[in-house]
A and B are shown apart, each in its own frame.
Chain A
Amino acid sequence: GQNIDQPTEMTATEGAIVQINCTYQTSGFNGLFWYQQHAGEAPTFLSYNVLDGLEEKGRFSSFLSRSKGYSYLLLKELQMKDSASYLCAVRTGGGNKLTFGTGTQLKVEL
């Protein structure tokens, strides 16, 4: 089976930096995705890693270590609108099927 773990909740201050971790145990790993989801809405794509290393995209960066089964999403210059659930998802095999972690609810405070 597959197992994807994320912290349930995190709180951070506006303007600060926060790191959301994701660990996974899967077979046939073929990429890791991060999505943002606001309450009652569909997830929106943030980043994708398939090779080890850091991918940077504006205020958001994502890191992957395949040997450790570990990824993190880094959010810089936090804004209130960043309060949302952040979902780590792993793709396995050659298709597009994603398995999602439980999600991390991030709360940004003043």
Chain B
Amino acid sequence: GAVVSQHPSRVICKSGTSVKIECRSLDFQATTMFWYRQFPKQSLMLMATSNEGSKATYEQGVEKDKFLINHASLTLSTLTVTSAHPEDSSFYICSARDAVGGSPLHFGNGTRLTVT
């Protein structure tokens, strides 16, 4: 079945640095990928929709200059958290769907970001 790989699974960084998270569709092409954020004991909140070959679409309240999204190929989307602060510490999850196969959205294993 469709598999989405996310890397790294955990990252700890110092305040002010930038962190890049990769999301790959392993056996299918994804023109669209989605980035979610989940705080402890809360549900997934959609941050942005990553579109291959064009600009990402951000949800209301999400700073596009802080959360940079690049979807340069049909199998890879990256999320860069720029100038990270402790309040950015969260669980970041990407998802994608194999439009050809008609499968539901599949999620990566998530990235636990801790900003110290």
**A contacts, CB < 8 Å to B:** 33, 35, 40-45, 48, 87, 95-103, 105
A40-B91, A100-B45 given; 6 more Cβ-contact pairs under 8 Å? A33-B105, A41-B109, A42-B109, A95-B32, A96-B97, A97-B46
Given contacts A40-B112, A97-B49, A100-B43, contact A45 B104 (CB under 8 A): yes
Q: A78 CA to B102 CA in the complex, in Å? A: 30
**Chain B residues positioned under 8 Å from A44 (CB to CB):** 107
Is B104 in contact with A42, judged by CB distance below 8 angstroms?
A: no
In the complex, the chain B residue whose C-beta lies closest to that of A96 is B97
**How many A-B residue pairs lie within 8 Å, measured between CB atoms?**
49
**B contacts, CB < 8 Å to A:** 6, 32, 34, 36, 41-46, 49, 91, 93, 95, 97, 104-110, 112
**Chain A residues positioned under 8 Å from B93 (CB to CB):** 42-43
**Chain A residues positioned under 8 Å from B107 (CB to CB):** 35, 42-44
How far apart are A101's CB and chain B's nearest CB, in angstroms?
6
In the complex, the chain A residue whose C-beta lies closest to that of B109 is A42
11 residue pairs from A and B, CB less than 8 Å apart = A33-B104, A40-B91, A42-B6, A42-B93, A42-B110, A44-B107, A87-B43, A95-B49, A99-B46, A100-B44, A100-B45
**Chain A residues positioned under 8 Å from B34 (CB to CB):** 96-98
Q: A48 CA to B104 CA in the complex, in Å? A: 8
Q: A97 CA to B45 CA in the complex, in Å? A: 11
Q: A51 CA to B32 CA in the complex, in Å? A: 25
**Chain A residues positioned under 8 Å from B91 (CB to CB):** 40
**Chain A residues positioned under 8 Å from B46 (CB to CB):** 97-100
Given contacts A96-B32, A96-B34, contact A42 B112 (CB under 8 A): no
Q: A84 CA to B86 CA in the complex, in Å? A: 27
